[in-house]
Amino acid sequence: MTASSQPTDILAVGTQAPDFNLPATPDQRLRLSELRGKPVVLVFYPADWSPVCGDELALFNEALPLIKPKQALVLGISVDSAWCHQAFRDARKLHFDLLSDYEPKGEVSRAYGAYDAEAGCSKRALFVIDAEGKIAWSYLSPVAINPGVDGVLDALDRL
């Protein structure tokens, strides 16, 4: 996909969520379509170890007791490697998977309109995908701002 053919906006509500198969650990992969039947929260973020990303993911970690009763699964996605994710997840004691959109770099982020080609990383974007695999809610945040979890929780309540 060339820079000129990249989506300029994140995918809209009602769009079928593009399937993907990404590393969840250095030796395990996760396919989005295997999660059909329950809601999925995708948290695209620029980089492990950055202060805003660390705060955002820590907030989702703290909100898991509010998310799990809705039968939803949270997945973080960035272009960092599975090894980097593993170290970051362990250090921050995160209780959800971080998926590596490392190679081909940003392919999934691009498919969701959540890739910053100039910076070479994922944008800060949130998606709630319903049990049928359609985007029920999406939000693009400025890269320097933690968008919090309120929008996600509201979207899950509406499902």
* Unique residue bearing structure tokens 């799990």: 68
pLDDT tens track for 49-96: 999 999 999 999 999 999 999 999 999 999 999 999 999 999 999 999
The whole-number average pLDDT for the span 97-122 is 97
Both tokens of 137, joined, read 């809610």
32 or 3: which carries more pLDDT confidence? 32
| Domain boundaries defined on the chain | 46-158
Q: What is the pTM of this model?
A: 0.94
Spatial distance between the Cα atoms of 132 and 14, rounded to a whole number of angstroms: 11
CB 90 within 8 A of CB 67: no
Residue 80, Cβ density class (10 Å: 0-12 exposed, 13-18 middle, ≥19 buried) = buried
The whole-number average pLDDT for the span 16-33 is 97
- Phi, psi for residue 110 in degrees, rounded to 5: -60, -40
Which homologous superfamily is 46-158 in? Glutaredoxin (3.40.30.10)
**Catalytic residue annotation:** 53
CB atoms within 10 A of CB 128: 26
| DSSP assigned state of 6 | S
